[in-house]
Amino acid sequence: MASDPPPDDAAAAAAANGHGNGNGPSPPKRPRAVISAAEIRAEFAHHDAAVARVNNGSFGCCPASVLGSQAHWQRLFLAQPDAFYFHGLQQGLVRSRAAVAAAVGAGDVSEVSLVDNATTAAAIVLQHAAWSFAEGRFARGDAVLMLHYAYGAVKKSIHAYVARAGATVVEVPLPFPVASADAIIAEFRAALAVAKEGGRRVRLAVIDHITSMPSVVIPVKELVAICREEGVDKVFVDAAHSIGQVPVDVRDIGADFYTSNLHKWLFCPPAVAFLHTRKDDPIASQLHHPVVSHEYGNGLPMESGWIGTRDYSAQLVVSEAIAFVNRFEGGIEGIRSRNHEKVIEMGRMLAEAWGTFLGSPPELCGSMVMVGLPGCLGVENDDDAMRVRTMLRKDFQVEVPIYYNSRRVEGQEMAKDKIGDPVTGYVRISHQVYNVREDYERLRDAVNKLVSEGFTSSKLRPSEKQEA
């Protein structure tokens, strides 16, 4: 089934205001007063109250009012699917794309495509790079550059698409803990020089705006500028965590491709993200969604807006999520600022209680912070980290990711806690509007209890339990 042609500008404007098809949400109402603490609690009353949820970063959150709007769209589809697909869907998606374009400084709504998540956006970009190798536009052995701390699925996608097609993959071995943005820039320049050795062309650089684990805000604008100076063909910024955590202006950053999830820090339901590509770049017409539909060849926004029968409702409530954001003092800027201040405050509280430190200076943090765990916990590998995380969830009702610091830049000494033990494990704490101080105090007390009882992560290892 082919969907209707994309709306013209007048229809898009009508859709952006909730008019034009009779199926969209009602026209905007007068702005509400600044949201109260009681209203915030009500918006997130569906969260499990028994759990200290300091992990907004992994899956985000969605308030009840936005979930209500999503349910409205779902009912419209179920009530009359034909009318929804032929008359409501595309105009609703244009409305959401227009909201995203305005939020991230895109030059035009045509530059924004909506996809399920940043991993899908990465597949779109990397698929094109793989075709360029396969079709001879890139020479075998040409390089693709990525950060060592790139998101795991994206790293695997780089190998699945471009390395398999003939690319040489070069990693940037970033230091951690991180002392400054300059340290990141220096490592990036050094790795870029390696990528260019022997006259190799660097065809693509994949740069995170905020790395996931460990979480660090990367000086992405500076790295993009270096890529331009050094002749890197294309730059893809994987900013899965960025929108809602840090300011985003895609034209100012200047990458060829920029993606961010809207369900992590912008209060949309799963799963919705955007991919930005400049409309004046000829490559825009060469990008295709990996799911081929009847819209193939009609431009990535249309291809992404129809990938078969599925639930598109998460992609239709972007304006409602932004309306929720605007109920807070200062809107998204106010939320970002308060989340940053609170997560730094809570991170320092934990570090002081545990005799450790933050994994990066505050200026390299958004709404997530890495905090060193006491070295005596003995986190020695990724499996240890996952087992301790599971124990905190099951035994203490605390949800927080744990990172094992397995890689150090040559010459960087392992950081130690106040009693001299090497710090190999870190928690990644998030702060979102629903969080309260007690969430972090529960985490603090859980770790302190483990330390006082002489716990080490080796006690959770299956083999050692069996031997005992």
Output the six-digit token pair for 264: 């992590």
pLDDT at 413: 77
Q: What is the mean pLDDT of residues 51-56?
A: 97
Q: CA-CA distance, 33 to 48, in Å (whole number)?
A: 27
pLDDT at 21: 39
pLDDT digits (tens, 9 = 90+) for 118-160: 999 999 999 999 999 999 999 999 999 999 999 999 999 999 9
Q: CA-CA distance, 188 to 225, in Å (whole number)?
A: 12
Peptide bond into 214 cis (omega under 30): yes
In this prediction, residue 17 has a pLDDT band, given cuts at 50, 70 and 90, of very low
* pLDDT greater than 60 at residue 409: no
In this prediction, residue 175 has a pLDDT band, given cuts at 50, 70 and 90, of confident
In this prediction, residue 107 has a pLDDT band, given cuts at 50, 70 and 90, of confident
* pLDDT greater than 90 at residue 10: no
pLDDT at 313: 97
In this prediction, residue 402 has a pLDDT band, given cuts at 50, 70 and 90, of very high
pLDDT at 9: 35
Sign of CA dihedral 186, 240, 238, 401: positive
What is the DSSP code string of 154-203? HHHHHIIIIIHHTPEEEEE---SS---HHHHHHHHHHHHHHHTGGG--EE
Q: What is the mean pLDDT of residues 290-314?
A: 94
* pLDDT greater than 80 at residue 463: no
Summary mean pLDDT of the chain: 91
pLDDT at 406: 81
Q: Hey, which bits of 216-278 come out as E strands?
A: 234-238, 257-261, 273-277
Q: What is the mean pLDDT of residues 95-117?
A: 96
pLDDT digits (tens, 9 = 90+) for 333-382: 999 999 999 999 999 999 999 999 999 999 999 999 999 999 999 999 99
The answer to whether the beta carbons of residues 212 and 57 sit under 8 Å apart is: yes
The larger pLDDT score, comparing residue 467 to residue 269, is at: 269
Q: CA-CA distance, 465 to 455, in Å (whole number)?
A: 14
* pLDDT greater than 90 at residue 399: yes
pLDDT at 410: 61
pLDDT digits (tens, 9 = 90+) for 248-272: 999 999 999 999 999 999 999 999 9
Q: What is the mean pLDDT of residues 232-260?
A: 97
